[in-house]
């Protein structure tokens, strides 16, 4: 049976642990497939014990820069805590209203295919909204290395991680 993971991230003080727990309850109600929820966090205190917590992998960005979601790129680590299978990343502030099985059952054209939700606020742009994206864990082993090696060029060209990720995946 394929492994299904729900990934989320919690760092700093913007979202307390209750947001992780609420997301876990929403997924439990609206995903009929077996899954494991994994939270990458700097503070697991107060998170439901049913949620597997791991430290956010280091990204090694220069100090003092606006974060702009760049940490989300660590979900593409070549070996993210040994996880294997399909992952659906969800931001902590998403609201799930219906069944989400299709995020796992919809077939990708290629094994390394990524599905990223469309940016409905700016539909003319070819930039996904990284609040929701699905991918195969470990399928992009060079993504982080490419990002780290070219960070200053990337940051000068792209405002945030979803703009760069969308461009990277199109290439």
Q: What is the average pLDDT value for the chain, to the nearest integer?
A: 90
Please provide the distance, in angstroms rounded to a whole number, between the alpha carbons at the two ends of the chain: 31
The pLDDT score that the predictor gives to residue 71 is 92
User: How many CA atoms lie less than 13 Å away from 171 in the CB half-sphere?
Assistant: 9
pLDDT of residue 126: 66
Name the more confident of 3 and 125: 3
Does position 145 have pLDDT exceeding 80, yes or no? yes
Instruction: Give the residue from 143, 104, 76 showing the smallest Cα distance to 5.
Output: 104
Arithmetic mean of pLDDT, 54-79: 87
pLDDT digits (tens, 9 = 90+) for 92-128: 999 999 999 999 998 776 655 788 777 777 776 667 7
Please compute the mean of the pLDDT values over residues 136-154 and round it to a whole number. 92
For residues 52 and 48, give the distance between their C-alpha atoms in angstroms, rounded to a whole number. Answer: 9
Domains defined for the chain, CATH in brackets: 4-170 (3.90.550.10)
Percent of the chain with pLDDT over 70: 94
């Amino acid at each position: 049976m394929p492994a299904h993971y729900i990934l989320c991230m919690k760092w700093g003080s913007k979202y307390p642990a209750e947001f992780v727990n609420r997301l876990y309850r929403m997924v439990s109600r609206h995903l009929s497939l077996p899954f494991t929820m994994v939270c990458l966090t700097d503070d697991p205190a107060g998170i439901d014990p049913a949620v597997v917590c791991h430290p956010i992998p280091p990204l090694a960005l220069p100090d003092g820069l606006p974060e702009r979601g760049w940490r989300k790129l660590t979900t593409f680590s070549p070996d993210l805590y040994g996880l294997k299978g399909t992952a659906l990343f969800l931001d902590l502030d998403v609201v799930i209203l219906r069944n989400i099985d299709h995020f796992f059952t919809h077939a990708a054209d290629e094994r390394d295919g990524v599905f990223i939700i469309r940016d409905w606020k700016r539909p003319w742009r070819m930039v996904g909204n990284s609040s929701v994206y699905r991918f195969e864990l470990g399928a992009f082993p060079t993504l982080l290395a490419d990002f780290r090696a070219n960070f200053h060029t990337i940051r000068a060209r792209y405002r945030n991680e979803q703009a760069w990720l969308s461009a990277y995946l199109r290439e």
